[in-house]
């Protein structure tokens, strides 16, 4: 099986960086994979504490030796997460043709790389598929398929191909105009369950720096779908350092080797409904409707959605 390069984006969270590396290294494919690690630079007037954490993080990534090859790219100045990802993903995917993308706030299943690489190879020639996702927090359990497709892309561990990523467009105003012109805003708003439009509008001014919401617009405009697994292959690590920190939602991770088969590239009504409930904060990981979510669960779901608002609260 062809193994895709892995890209990890880090900044100033040494403990999180070590956790994601440890979980990634438990994947059998890790020892034969090329890992690129991008380390963002410090902001102007960064505190001594932040500078120290950046250096601690860089010591960890330079010591990493559990992969076939590790390439570390240190930035001298702070780019921020959006620019780091758009530039770093472009660099690696243009060289290799495919890419698996991680940030430093994830915990991975030991079968994460198996899922990503098999899916990248399996759907490479199906141009309806834009992306391979890993974190399913709304349609887990036996009543849902082992894999399924949705119009919503995923940013908690994902993968794509060079020809799809070539369509990435940072011009939020243009994307907003096209979504309205093509009458796709309802779909873009997770079928009316979440205000993605507001997030995209934030990108036009100075309130947001999210690459993810712009990539979502590109996917919807191209009528592309993202593959999701059941159960998840990635979880989000809570961070007390993050602006939107709260109780963390951790859907069940895949703990046994998955059985892969090619799924029909369509959106299923039952999965769309589960996704809508999840984005509207009305269900648990298994798509079960609740009368009212308790405040801790609501806070956790809001933590997941905050990834679209840019920087995951850490830059």
CATH number of the domain encompassing residue 213 = 3.90.550.10
Q: What is the pLDDT of residue 302?
A: 52
Q: What is the pLDDT of residue 237?
A: 85
Domain assignment present for 264: yes
Strand partners, 39: 10, 74
Domain assignment present for 1: no
Report the Cα 199 to chain-centroid distance in Å: 16
Domain assignment present for 79: yes
The yes-or-no verdict on residue 171 having pLDDT over 90 is yes
Domain assignment present for 139: yes
Q: What is the pLDDT of residue 251?
A: 85
Proportion of the chain above pLDDT 90, given as a percent: 81
Domain assignment present for 272: yes
> Cβ distance 139 to 226 under 8 Å?
no
Strand partners, 162: none
List b or e across 193-224, with b for residues whose CB sees 16 or more CB atoms inside 10 angstroms: bbebbebbbbbeeeebebbbbbbbbbbbbeeb
Domain assignment present for 32: yes
pLDDT higher at 22 or 306: 22
Domain range enclosing 226: 6-313
Reported as a single tens digit per residue, the pLDDT across 37-96 is: 999 999 999 999 999 999 999 999 999 999 999 999 999 999 998 999 999 999 999 999
Rounded CA gap, 88 and 73, in Å? 9
* Total residues belonging to the chain: 315
Domain assignment present for 92: yes
Could you give the count of Cα atoms lying within 13 Å of 291 in the half-sphere of its Cβ?
0
Q: pLDDT averaged over the chain? A: 90
Whether the link from the prior residue into 11 is cis, omega within 30° of 0, is: no
Q: What is the pLDDT of residue 272?
A: 97
Q: Domain count for the chain, please give it.
A: 1
Which of 221-225, 272-276, 292-296 is least confident? Answer: 292-296
Q: What is the pLDDT of residue 296?
A: 41
Q: What is the pLDDT of residue 239?
A: 55
Could you give the count of Cα atoms lying within 13 Å of 183 in the half-sphere of its Cβ?
0
CA distances from 35 to 16, 97, 159, 188 (A): 17, 15, 14, 33
Please give the average per-residue pLDDT across 270-284, as a whole number: 92
Checking DSSP bridges between strand 6-10 and strand 34-39, what pairing results, if any?
A: parallel
Please give the average per-residue pLDDT across 166-185, as a whole number: 97
Please give the average per-residue pLDDT across 108-117, as a whole number: 98
Q: What is the pLDDT of residue 242?
A: 46
Domain assignment present for 171: yes
CA angle 108, 109, 113 (to 5 degrees): 85
Reported as a single tens digit per residue, the pLDDT across 231-275 is: 999 999 865 554 333 435 678 899 999 999 999 999 999 999 999
The structure's pTM equals 0.91
Reported as a single tens digit per residue, the pLDDT across 176-218 is: 999 999 999 999 999 999 999 999 999 997 656 789 999 999 9
């Amino acid at each position: 099986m062809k193994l895709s390069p892995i890209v990890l984006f880090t900044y100033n969270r040494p403990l999180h960086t070590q956790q994601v590396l440890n979980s990634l290294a438990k994947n059998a494919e890790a020892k034969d994979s090329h890992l690129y690690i991008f380390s963002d630079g410090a902001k102007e007037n960064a505190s001594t504490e932040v500078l120290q954490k950046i250096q601690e993080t860089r010591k960890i990534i330079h010591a990493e030796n559990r992969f076939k090859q590790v390439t570390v790219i240190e930035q001298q100045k702070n780019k921020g997460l959006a620019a780091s990802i758009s530039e770093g993903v472009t660099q690696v995917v243009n060289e290799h043709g495919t890419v698996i993308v991680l940030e430093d706030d994830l915990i991975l299943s030991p079968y994460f790389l198996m899922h990503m690489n098999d899916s990248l190879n399996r759907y490479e020639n199906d141009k309806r598929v834009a992306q391979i996702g890993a974190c399913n927090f709304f349609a887990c359990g036996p009543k849902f398929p082992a894999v399924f497709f949705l119009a919503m892309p995923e940013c908690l561990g994902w993968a794509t191909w060079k020809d799809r990523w070539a369509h990435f467009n940072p011009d939020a105003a243009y994307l907003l105009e096209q979504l309205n012109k093509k009458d796709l805003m309802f779909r873009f708003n997770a079928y009316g369950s979440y205000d993605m439009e507001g997030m995209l509008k934030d990108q036009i001014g100075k309130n947001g720096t999210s690459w993810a919401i712009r990539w979502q617009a590109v996917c919807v405009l191209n009528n592309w779908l993202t593959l999701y697994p059941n159960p998840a292959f990635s979880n989000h690590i809570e961070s007390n350092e993050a602006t939107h920190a709260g109780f963390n939602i951790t859907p069940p991770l895949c703990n046994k080797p998955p059985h892969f088969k090619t799924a029909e590239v369509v959106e299923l009504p039952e999965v769309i409904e589960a996704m809508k409930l999840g984005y509207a904060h009305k269900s648990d990981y298994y798509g079960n409707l609740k009368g009212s979510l308790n405040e801790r669960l609501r806070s956790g779901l809001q933590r997941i959605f905050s990834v679209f608002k840019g920087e995951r609260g850490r830059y």
